[in-house]
Amino acid sequence: MNHLHDRALGALYGLAMGDALGMPTQIMPRRSIVARFGTVTGFEPGPAENPVSAGMPAGAVTDDTDQAVLVGRLLVEGDGHIDPLRLAQELLEWERAMKAKGSFDLLGPSTKAALEAVSRGVPPEEAGRSGSTNGAAMRITPVGVAFPDKPLESFVDQVAAACRVTHDTTLGIASAAAVAAAVSRGVGGGGLEDAFAAAITAAAAGAERGHWVYGASIAARIEWAVELVRGLPEERALDRVNDLVGTSVASQESVPAAFAVLALADGEPWRACLLAANLGGDCDTIGAIAGAIAGSLSGASALPTEALTTLRSVNGLDLEPLATSLLELRAAAAG
What angle is formed at CA 82 by the lines to CA 80 and CA 132, rounded to 5 degrees?
A: 125
Q: Residue 215: name the closest of 172, 180, 274 by CA.
A: 172
CB of 171 to Mg ion, least distance (A): 19
Bridge partners, 255 (sequence order) = none
CB of 254 to Mg ion, least distance (A): 11
Of 63 and 168, nearer to Mg ion (C-beta) is 63
DSSP structure class, residue 302: G
Q: Interface with Mg ion includes 62 (CB under 5 A)?
A: yes
Of 44 and 149, the one with the shorter C-beta distance to Mg ion is: 44
Nearer to Mg ion among residue 229 and residue 311 (C-beta): 311
**Taking a C-beta distance cutoff of 8 angstroms, is the pair 18, 276 a contact?**
yes
Tell me the C-alpha distance between 318 and 100, whole Å.
23
Among the listed ranges 46-54, 111-119, 160-168, 284-292, the one in contact with Mg ion (CB under 5 A) is 284-292
Point out which span in 63-71, 167-175, 269-277, 306-314 binds Mg ion (CB under 5 A): 63-71
Smaller CB separation from Mg ion, 253 or 284: 284
Q: Using CB under 5 A, which of the segments 55-63, 114-122, 164-172, 209-217 binds Mg ion?
A: 55-63
Does 223 interact with Mg ion (rule: CB under 5 A)? no
From 6, 64, 66, 149, residue interacting with Mg ion (rule: CB under 5 A): 64
Min dist CB 200 to Mg ion, Å, is 25
- State which amino acid sits at residue 299: G
| Piece in contact with Mg ion (CB under 5 A), picked from 3-11, 61-69, 231-239, 250-258 | 61-69
To the nearest whole angstrom, how small is the minimum distance from the Cβ of residue 169 to Mg ion?
21
Local structure of residue 2 (DSSP, 8 states) = -
Residues 241-280: b if buried by 16+ CB within 10 A, e if exposed: bbeebbbebbbbbbbbbbbbbbbbbebbbbbbbbbbbbbb
Closest contact distance (angstroms) between CB of 333 and Mg ion is: 29
With binding defined as CB under 5 A, does residue 284 bind Mg ion?
yes
Question: Where in 78-137 is the site for Mg ion (CB under 5 A)?
Answer: none
Shortest separation between residue 63's beta carbon and Mg ion, angstroms:
4
The smaller minimum CB distance to Mg ion, of residues 62 and 252, is found at 62
Cα–Cα distance between 207 and 95 in angstroms, integer?
Answer: 29
Under rule CB under 5 A, how many of the chain's residues touch Mg ion?
Answer: 4
3-state secondary structure of 62: coil
| Min CB(45)–Mg ion separation in Å | 16
Angle at 158 between CA 155 and CA 162, to 5 degrees: 145
The stretch among 43-51, 175-183, 279-287, 321-329 that binds Mg ion (CB under 5 A) is 279-287
| Beta bridge partner(s), residue 211 | 169
CA dihedral sign, ordered 160, 165, 166, 170: positive
Backbone angles phi, psi at 169, to 5 degrees: -135, 160
To the nearest whole angstrom, how small is the minimum distance from the Cβ of residue 324 to Mg ion? 26
> Considering only 45-53, 57-65, 177-185, 292-300, which stretch makes contact with Mg ion by CB under 5 A?
57-65
Which residues make Cβ contacts (< 8 Å) with residue 328, sequence separation at least 6? none
Report the distance separating Cα 260 and Cα 250, nearest Å.
Answer: 15
Judged by the rule CB under 5 A, the positions of this chain that interact with Mg ion are 62-64, 284
